[in-house]
């Protein structure tokens, strides 16, 4: 590897970028001395952020082409995704493998990743917690069901739901009500706590928070997205380190 692209869905919210994205990027950058580009996979986010700030993030294709134009060969470029699941946005990165570019793993790539997250979350979150992810219309959406199964199997008072996936918030709501919990933590299962977190999870109008409150359960928000959680950054760093150790002669 002679060039690194760090790829994320992106956000139009400056606070989310600085709080949740920068720490992950800084940690990965510190592990190598090669040139680094940060790319957003969401074209919608790129356009809205540019309109809002005048600053344009590259998409993943532009980032690859930028390195190619600088003289790097495709096989010298590695993309480390910061996506949570390997759904539609991750597939945009996978498409670049046909050009000879290497692509790493999302946070949840295999069963061991889900188990690790459940174990870490069980240690870090003492109170009943609802983790809210985005969801996907791809097979990767099953990861959220699997997280719920693992939380149940490990007798942990945590559950998962999604904003646009198949696991809606009725599942954790019914669970928390059934256990008699009067207060829960609400945490974004999102790298960046931007628009979805502020509106769909914590908003005052038809959000996960308001539906729990309507059911008589008070909500305490977990600040920040997953990029601000040290144990999540450690998982991404470990995935990147595994790739680097597989090519020791090049680093």
CATH number at residue 117: 3.40.50.1400
β-strands 102-103, 77-81 pairing? parallel
Mark whether 53 and 140 lie in a shared domain: no
- DSSP state string for 179-216: TT-SEEEEEE-SSS-SHIIIIIIT-SSSSHHHHHHHTT
Q: Which domain holds residue 7?
A: 3-107+229-250
Mark whether 221 and 240 lie in a shared domain: no
pLDDT tens for each residue of 65-121: 999 999 999 999 999 999 999 999 999 999 999 999 999 999 999 999 999 999 999
| pTM of the complete model | 0.95
Mark whether 37 and 84 lie in a shared domain: yes
User: Alpha-carbon distance 24 to 47, whole Å?
Assistant: 23
Instruction: Band the pLDDT of 247: cuts 50, 70, 90.
Output: confident
Number of domains, the chain: 2
Q: Tell me what pLDDT residue 178 has.
A: 96
User: Alpha-carbon distance 113 to 100, whole Å?
Assistant: 26
User: Alpha-carbon distance 251 to 248, whole Å?
Assistant: 5
Instruction: Band the pLDDT of 248: cuts 50, 70, 90.
Output: low
Mark whether 188 and 82 lie in a shared domain: no
Instruction: Band the pLDDT of 251: cuts 50, 70, 90.
Output: very low
CB of 132 closer than 8 Å to CB of 187: yes
Q: Tell me what pLDDT residue 249 has.
A: 56
Mark whether 122 and 44 lie in a shared domain: no
Mark whether 200 and 137 lie in a shared domain: yes
Strand segments (E) across the chain: 3-8, 36-40, 77-81, 102-103, 129-133, 158-162, 183-188, 218-221
Mark whether 91 and 65 lie in a shared domain: yes
Mark whether 118 and 140 lie in a shared domain: yes
Mark whether 125 and 181 lie in a shared domain: yes
Residue 241 corresponds to which tokens in the numbers above?
Answer: 């380190």
Mark whether 148 and 188 lie in a shared domain: yes
User: 216: alpha, beta or left, given left = phi > 0 and alpha = psi -120 to 50?
Assistant: left
Mark whether 207 and 234 lie in a shared domain: no
Mark whether 94 and 188 lie in a shared domain: no
- Residue count (the chain): 251
pLDDT, the chain, mean = 96
DSSP 8-state symbol, 157: S
Burial of 51 (0-12, 13-18, 19+ CB in 10 A): exposed
């Amino acid at each position: 590897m002679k060039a690194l692209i760090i790829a994320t869905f992106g956000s139009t919210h400056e606070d989310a970028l600085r709080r949740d994205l920068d720490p992950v990027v800084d940690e990965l950058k510190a592990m190598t001395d090669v040139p680094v580009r940060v790319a957003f996979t969401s074209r919608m986010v790129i356009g809205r952020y540019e309109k809002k700030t005048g600053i344009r993030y590259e998409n993943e294709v532009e980032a690859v082409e930028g390195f190619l134009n600088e003289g790097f060969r495709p096989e010298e470029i590695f993309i480390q995704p910061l996506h949570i699941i390997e759904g539609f946005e991750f597939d945009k990165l996978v498409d670049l493998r046909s050009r000879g570019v290497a692509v790493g793993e999302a946070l949840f790539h295999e069963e061991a990743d889900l188990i690790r997250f459940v174990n870490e979350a069980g240690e870090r979150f003492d109170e009943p917690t609802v983790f809210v992810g985005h969801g996907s219309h791809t097979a990767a959406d099953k990861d959220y069901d699997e997280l719920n199964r693992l939380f149940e199997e490990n007798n942990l008072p945590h559950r998962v739901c999604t904003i646009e996936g198949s696991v809606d918030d009725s599942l954790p709501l019914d669970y928390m009500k059934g256990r008699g919990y009067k207060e829960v933590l609400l945490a974004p299962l999102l790298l960046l706590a931007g628009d979805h977190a502020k509106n769909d999870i914590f908003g005052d109008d038809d959000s996960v928070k308001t539906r729990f409150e309507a059911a008589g359960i008070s909500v305490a928000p977990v600040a920040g997205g997953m990029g601000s959680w040290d144990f999540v950054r450690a998982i991404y760093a470990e995935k990147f380190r595994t790739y680097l150790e597989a090519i020791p002669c090049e680093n």
